[in-house]
Each structure stands twice: as structure tokens, then as C-alpha cells.
Amino acid sequence: MKTILFDLDGTLIDSTEAIIESFGVAYDTFTRLTPAEDEIKKLIGHPLDMMFTMLGVQYKEVDSYVSAYKGHYRLISRAKTTLLPLAKEAIKQASCIANLGIVTTKTAQYSEELLEHLGVMQYFDVLIGRESVDNPKPHPEPILKALKHLKADATRTWMVGDTPMDLISAKEAGVIGIGVLCGYSQKSDLEEHSRHIVHNALEAVQLIAKQS
């Protein structure tokens, strides 16, 4: 049996509005100027603590910013998150040919709540989030943990994601990475880490379906 692992943000869902708004609340909480939207967007896919650090927040303050972010995000995330076009079709088609999992740097609890709200959680047999591992993507640990849970064969497993981190994690875990262009990364950045680049998750599933 094949296994397909999906990233969330930029791969299956669009929660950009909720993310940007929650960053604004976090910075407002500490009376700091919020970074430009483009600066935030290009970091989506990294764990929150790393995003705040990369945006200039001091290490000792990061946990407070993350807490402020999460407090607001949980309130608005379901109302301000949608499935990307063709994502539901991708999930349904994938469930006919493979066991499915989610590997994300988002909080697992919030991710599960979102997917339940969007009506697709029942298709997934495992969800690995930030708190599920010590080392998030691009480290292979999240994918390896998903493989162990699913008792999956790495050589018949695909990781579908929209950032180089997804593809690096896939390669390090010994699975096949497929980059999608519906998210936050440029084609040239994805091409550095995989020869399999498609427009969206549905095209990724259709590609996988053709593999023996």
C-alpha cells in the first residue's frame, strides 16, 4: 500500500489571513511594530518560535509572542481558513490509493480542529504537528514518526509540500518529495530539492497514482 503525507499551509489549506492577523496581535500585545506581510509570508512553514526569532524577536521573549499569537489564532482560525482549490478532491482521490497522514509545523491540536471543521480529518490516519516531535521539518523526524505510526514502507511513501523544508525532510527520511506551487515558495527554490514539481495537491496525487 502506498502512503501519502501532506503538509498543511500552502499545500492543502490557506490560513494566510489568520496567520497575518495573529502575528499583528502578538506584536500589538508587546507594543511592537508588526513586520510587513511579505516578510511574514515568506517564513510560513517554519515553526512559530523560529518565525518570531527570524523576524527579530529576542529569544527570551519568543515564548510570550507565541502564546499571544496562539491565543488569538485559535479564536479565528476556523473562520479564516479554507481548503485550497482542488484540495478536497486531492484528499479524496489520495484516500483511494494510499494511507494518508499530515506532517506540519503547526500545532497538532489546532490542525486537527481545523481539519475537522473543514470536513476532511476522517481521511487521515496520523497527524504529526510541532509538539509531536523534538525536531521539526526540515529534520526528518516528523516524517519518520509518521512512517512508524503507519508502519509504512519509506520507498512507497510520498511527501507533498510547498516549501523546501518539506522536500529536505522527505529526502532525509528516504521518501519521495513532491513540491507544489500553490503555496509560499518559488518554483526555483523547490527545484533545488526535488525533480517532482506540480501546481497543486491534486496534480501531486495524480502523479503518485501513476507510479507502480
CATH of domain 2-14+82-209: 3.40.50.1000
pLDDT tens digits, 86-132: 999 999 999 999 999 999 999 999 999 999 999 999 999 999 999 99
Provide the pLDDT for residue 212.
Answer: 78
The gap from C-alpha 172 to its chain's centroid, in whole angstroms, comes to 17
What is the pLDDT at residue 115? 97
Mean pLDDT of the chain: 97
Length of the chain: 212
For range 55-81, the mean pLDDT: 96
∠ CA 191-192-193, rounded to 5°: 90
* SS3 label, residue 96: helix
Residue-level pLDDT at 190: 97
User: Considering all CA atoms of the chain, what is the largest pairwise distance in Å, rounded to the nearest integer?
Assistant: 56
Distance (Å, whole) CA 154 – CA 179: 17
- Sheet of 157-161, strands arranged across: 126-128, 98-103, 2-6, 157-161, 176-180, 197-198
Half-sphere exposure of 15 (CA within 13 A, CB side): 26
Q: Taking the domain 16-76, which CATH number applies?
A: 1.10.150.240
CA dihedral 51, 52, 56, 57 (to 10 degrees): -160
142, 102 Cβ separation under 8 angstroms = no
Q: Which residues lie across from 46 on neighbouring strands?
A: 44
Note whether 178 and 162 are within 8 A (CB). Answer: no
C-alpha cell at 20: 497575518
d(CA 102, CA 142) in angstroms, rounded, equals 10
**Where along the chain do the CATH 3.40.50.1000 domains lie?**
2-14+82-209
> Which residue spans within the chain are E strands per DSSP?
2-6, 13-14, 82-83, 98-103, 126-128, 157-161, 176-180, 197-198
What's the rounded mean pLDDT across residues 163-172? 98
126, three cell numbers: 496520523
pLDDT at 126: 98
Location of each CATH 1.10.150.240 domain in the chain: 16-76
